[in-house]
Each structure stands twice: as C-alpha cells, then as structure tokens.
Amino acid sequence: MTAPVRARSLGYRAVKADILDRIHQGDWGPGTQLPAEAEIAAGMGISRATVNRALQELAVEGIVERRRRAGTVVRRAPIRAARFSIPILRDEIAATGASYRYVLLDRSERAAPRWLRARLSLPDAAPVLRLSCLHAAGPTPYAAEERWISLGALPEARGVDFAATAPTEWLIATVPYSEVEVSLFARAADPASAAALGVPAGSALLATERTTWWEGRALTHVRLTFHPGYRLTTRY
C-alpha cells in the first residue's frame, strides 16, 4: 500500500520535489539506495533524461550521492555548503533603499610592501597604487576599502580618476572576467578603518580579502572591512 511516486507531469522540478519529499519525510532515509534512473522513469511514465536532471540537481545540492554502478544514495550528512553572495557594494546598498555614496579617502603610489609582493608574486620594488575608500549607505558608513593595484600589470590605472569611479567598477569594466580568491574573516578595527567607519578602534568587524588574477598574473588585492552588525545570511 505504499503510495506510488506521483507523476505530476510538471517536469523535472516535480520529479525533484517528489524525491525530496520522500527524503524529508523519512520515506527514504539517510543511506537509502534510490531506484535506478530507468526504474524511476518507468514508474512515473516519463523519460529517463528527466529523472536524470532531477537527480543530478539533488546531487549538486548535496542531498544525494551518485556513482556509476553503485547507484544513487541519500547522503548521511548533508553537505553544509552555504552560498553567500558577495555582491557589488553599490548594488547591495541600493537594495536596502539607501543611496549609495562613495568617497576616495587617500591615493598614493609606492613600492609594494613585502606581504603584498608575496601575495601577488611581485618582484622587489614593484610599483603599486594604493587606494583607501569608503562606501556608505546615505550618511552611514558601510565598508572601508583598502585597495592595492599592481601598476606593472595595470599601468593604465595611473591615469584613472578614482575620486569619480570606485576601483571595483573601473576594474570590472577593464578586466571583467578573471580568477579570484576570496576569504572572509574577523578583525579588530585598526585606527584608520575605525575612523573611516566611525567606530571605536578594536571593534570586531567582518572583513573580506580578494585577490584577482588574469591570465595567471596578479592584478589587484583588496580588503573590505564592514560596519559593525554586518552579516552574511543564507538559507537552504
């Protein structure tokens, strides 16, 4: 008297929802081996390709694990991979309804410090452009940006008016697709960031660092330090 899989005939989304329902309701508990694609397809009166797409998405989402010959198995420990979007600040601030404000606080050209040379694989005394900026939601500081641009890789940055254009936006327009490493961590506000954000020095703040390469060559490194109370949130 087990209920057959309902063929709602709404396509692969329905198939996926059906299977997910069974898993959620314990019908197919962790470790359970699912019927083969062909079997599910036959049972629902649909094509195998449709079942495949549904199962493949469930695999990507970490709900099931699939191996040739071994079949499809419900994962015992769901993969805890959360997807946090790291949007362009302008968009993120605009999405809150506040007006986006950008201020260039400082600009200087200098030789790359050692840690940066190590990070970007730059030669000794490589010239870099250092920018210090503030992104704000109306009157409220939102994030402080410390940006380093390799002038060896991007000499045209010398001629750019970063008081008018935020570095991120210039970079997106100049080198839109590139390889990126992002990391996320907590830091105590240093005096400069604290002043920019209007918080006491030493405050615990969320920060991200992003290094960008293009064709294997390091272009830029940036640290964003967010206002207190900033959170990244996601559901799944």
Partner DNA sequence: CAGTGGTCTAGACCACCGG
Partner DNA sequence: CGGTGGTCTAGACCACTGT
Residues that bind a copy of itself (CB under 8 A): 23-24, 29-30, 63, 76-88, 91, 172-173, 176-188, 202-207, 215, 229-236
Scanning the structure block, which residue is given the tokens 């019927």? 35
Residue 57 or 107 having the CB closest to a copy of itself = 57
Site mask for DNA (CB under 7 A), range 39-68, x = bound: ------xxxxxx-xx-xx--x------xxx
Minimum Å distance from CB 137 to DNA? 31
DSSP 155: G
Answer yes or no: are the C-beta atoms of 39 and 72 closer than 8 Å. Answer: no
H-run or E-run covering 74: strand 71-74
What is the Cα–Cα distance from 192 to 223, expressed in whole angstroms? 13
Residue 13 or 158 having the CB closest to DNA = 13
Residue 165's binding partner out of a copy of itself, DNA, none, with CB under 5 to 8 Å set by partner kind: none
What is the Cα–Cα distance from 112 to 128, expressed in whole angstroms? 6
What is the Cα–Cα distance from 20 to 28, expressed in whole angstroms? 9
Of the candidates 34, 128, 133, 206, which one interacts with DNA according to CB under 7 A? 34
Residue 64 or 133 having the CB closest to DNA = 64
Q: Mark 95-109 as b/e (b = at least 16 C-beta within 10 Å).
A: eeeeebbbebeeeee
Minimum Å distance from CB 78 to DNA? 18
Candidates 133, 131, 128, 132; CA nearest to 109 is: 128
What is the Cα–Cα distance from 225 to 142, expressed in whole angstroms? 9
Minimum Å distance from CB 228 to a copy of itself? 8
Minimum Å distance from CB 36 to DNA? 3
Site mask for DNA (CB under 7 A), range 7-26, x = bound: ---xxxxx------------
Residue 77 or 125 having the CB closest to a copy of itself = 77
Candidates 133, 88, 90, 89; CA nearest to 108 is: 133
What is the Cα–Cα distance from 232 to 184, expressed in whole angstroms? 10
Query: Of residues 95-154, which lie at the interface with DNA (CB under 7 A)?
Result: none
Residue 46's binding partner out of a copy of itself, DNA, none, with CB under 5 to 8 Å set by partner kind: DNA
Q: Which tokens go with 33?
A: 């081996």
Q: Which residues bind to DNA, rule: CB under 7 A?
A: 10-14, 34, 36-38, 45-50, 52-53, 55-56, 59, 66-72
